[in-house]
Structure 1
Amino acid sequence: MTGASGDDERLRRWRMVLGADGAEGTGHTPTGRDAAMDGALSTLYGGGRRQSGRGGSERSAGLGASAPSVARWLGDIRTYFPVPVVQVMQRDAIDRLGLAALLLEPEMLEAVEPDVHLVGALLALDKAMPETTRETARAVVRKVTEDLERRLATRTRAVLTGALDRSARARRPRHRDIDWDRTIRANLRNYVPLPGRHGAGTVVPERLVGYGRTDRSVKKDVILCVDQSGSMASSVVHASVFGAVLASMRTLSTRLVVFDTSVVDLTDQLDDPVDVLFGTRLGGGTDINRALAYCQSRITRPAETVVVLISDLHEGGIRDEMVRRAAAMKASGVQFVTLLALSDEGAPSYDREHAAALAALGAPAFACTPDLFPEVMAAALERRPLPIPDDGG
C-alpha cells in the first residue's frame, strides 16, 4: 500500500493472510482492491484462512450452486491474482466447494483458467458431460495440451534424437560401415610411433565406430503403459502429450496403453492428444498385471524395446504375477522403467512394497517431472543409468 509505514504494511499483509476470523489483533480493515481480494479468498477458504485448507475446519463461506455467482467469482480471481494462484484456487474450489458439477455448463468452462488439473476434472466428468458442453470442454483440453506440447516437444525431440543417433552407431561395423573420422578420434590414445620414421606413426583402432544405421532394424519400440486411476490424472495428461511427441519421431515406434481394471490401446489416436485424453476413463480400479500382460504380448524385439510403466503401483490385480512379468520382460532384454508419477505435483503417494520389489529387479520406481522425462527416455534408449531424482522412489 503506497505511503504505508513498515508496521502498517506488515499488519496489512497479516490481515490478508489470516482473514477476518483470525485477524482481530491486526486492527486493519481491507479497503479497495484489498477488500475485493479478501472477499474472493473468504468465499473459498472462509474468514479464518489460517484454519482452512485441505483437511481443515469447516468453511464459513461458499459459492453455493448459483452459476452466475460462480462465474463472477472466477472472473474476480482472474482479475486479482496471478495465473498460478488462480489455478490453485480453481483446484481447491473443485475439491472443496463442489465446483466440478458446474463445469458441465459451457459458460463455466469459458470463465476458468485452463490447466492440467482442470483437464483432469473434465476427463473425470466426461461420461456425464452433455453435448452442449463437450465442444467447449475439448477446446479447453486442446489449449492445455497445445501449451504443454509447445513447452516440451522441441527439447524432447532434440534429446531423444541425440540418444537414438548414439545408440544407432554400430559397435562392430562391417568395413564399408566404418566411420573412419570418428574411429581415429576415438583411438588417438593408441597412437604408436613407427620406428626409424621421425614424426610418423599409426593409430591402433581398438574400437571401431560405425555410421548410424538407417535401416528399420535400429528403430526403437516404446510402449507407454499408463494407469488411468483417478489419482493419476495429471500423469495421464502429460503422458498423452509425450506419446504424441514420441509418435511423431520416425526413428521410434510408439504404443500408448491405458488401463484400470481393463486395458485400452490408444495407439491409433496418438496423432491428437485430445482424442487420446477423451479416450481415457479416469477412476475405477487398477490391474497392472493385466496391462503388463497386454504390453508383453506386443513386444517383438525385446532388445530394442523400452516399456515405461506410469503408475502409483497400488495394484488391485495379482501382485506376485505383476512382479514376475516385469522380471520376465527385463530378462528378455526389455528396458523397463517405472514412473510413480509424470507431473509437477511433488512426491506422490505410492505402494512402497511394490516399488521395492521392482527396484530389486533393477527397475527402480521414481516420480518424474515433465522436464526430466526426455532425459529418462534418452537414458533408457541408450541403456545407461537413469537420472533418478534425489527424492525418487
Structure 2
Amino acid sequence: MRRTLRYLTTSLALGCLAGTANAVVIDTFETDQPAISRTAPADTGTRVDHWISGSGILGGERELTLTLHPTIADGTTSSADVSGGAYNYNKDSTAGTFSYAFVVWDGADGTGTVDTSGLGGVDLTEGGRHDAIAISVNASDNPATVYIVADSSFGYSSRAALNLPGGISSPQTFIVPFSAFSVLGFNGPATFNSIGALQLQIYSPPSQNLAIGRVETTSTLSASKRGNLLVDTHGNSVANPGDVLRYTVQVANTMGSGQVNNVVFRDTLDSNTNLVAGSVTTTQGAVLSGNNPGDTVVEIDFGALPGGTTATVNFDAAIDASTPASVTQIVNQGLVSADGLTNLLTDDPDTAAAIDATVVAVLPAPAPPPPPTPGPGTSARAIPVTGPAGLALTVLALLIAGARSRLL
C-alpha cells in the first residue's frame, strides 16, 4: 500500500534549507542545466532526457526527464531546467493528468536510463544519524505530488509520496522520513544505508510553476545539551573540583507533523564527575537509570515524540574533589536513538561547531587562605600549662605581652 504524506513542515518552514550538519547532500542545484520541454500533440507519448555533471550533485551527475501521455490535451507544454539555485518545472495547461517530470541521481552513467546501482551504495543514514530526506520548495502554484523513489539495487526499491499544497510563494522545507517509504521493488525494499539511485517523480495535473531548492538528508529529531555551574563551592563563578554541574538536554521532533517512536536518550558521564543520585528528571517518559546510588549512566525512555514536541531532561554531576590539576575540562555528549535512528549525538547549541560535545572548563581549586599572623597584643593563652614550669612560663609571657602593650 502506498504511503502518502501530508506536508511535513519543519521549524525552517519560513526560510530555505541552509544545510544540515553532516548531511548527505543530494543536490544544491548550484549547477545550472539548460531547459528541456515537451509540447502536445507533437511530443505526446515521448520523453526527453538531459544529463549534466557538476558540483553539489550526489554521484556527480543529474538527469532531467519529461514525458507527455498520449491522452494529454493538445497545446499543453511542459518544461524543466535548473537555474538560480533551483530545479524549475512549468506546465501551462490544466488539461491532461498524465504528465511527469523526473530528477534522477544515479551516478555518472551518461545516459537517461536509471542505473539502480549507480551510486555504489551511499549511506543516507550517515551511520545512523539521519532518518529522513529534507526538500526545500521555493514555489508551488498548485497542488502537486512528488514521489521520492530510492533504489538499493535492481528490484530492491521503496517509494514515498509527498503531497505539496498550492500557494507556496516563499521557501518551505518538507521532511520525508525513511519510515514513510513503502516497498516498491519486486524483490524487496530499499536499504537506506546502501542506496544505488534516487529519483524525484513529479506528478502535477493542473498548470504548475514548481521550484525545488536544496535536497539533502536530515534527522527527524534534534538533540541539544548544555552544561552550567549549579553549586559554586568556592564562590569564584568558575568550575572547580568539588563543584556541581547541571546538564540540560532537549530532544525535539523537528517535524510539523508526524510521530517518532521508541525515542531513548543515554548518557555516560565524564570519568572525573559523579552523578548526583536522584537528580535526574524528565518532562516525558521514564527514567531508566541515573537515580540510584552508584549509577554512572543516565537513560531515559521518552516513548513516542509527536511532531513539534520537545522533551527536556535535567541531571546534576559533581566534579570529583580529587580531580588532578592536569584536567582542564569536563567533556560530555549524549546519544539519542529511535525507530530509524541509532546514533544521533547531542550538540552544544552555544558553540558554532556542529554536533559537538558539551565542554565545561575546569580550573584547579583555589588554595585555602593562610592562617592569620599574630600581631601586637596577641594573647599567649595558647601556651599549654603543664606543671609548675609551664605555669611560670605562662606568667612570664603575660608580663612580657603587657609590657609591650604599654610601650606601644
Normalising by structure 1, what TM-score? 0.26
Normalising by structure 2, what TM-score? 0.25
Q: Is the strand fraction higher in 1 or 2? A: 2
Larger Rg: 2
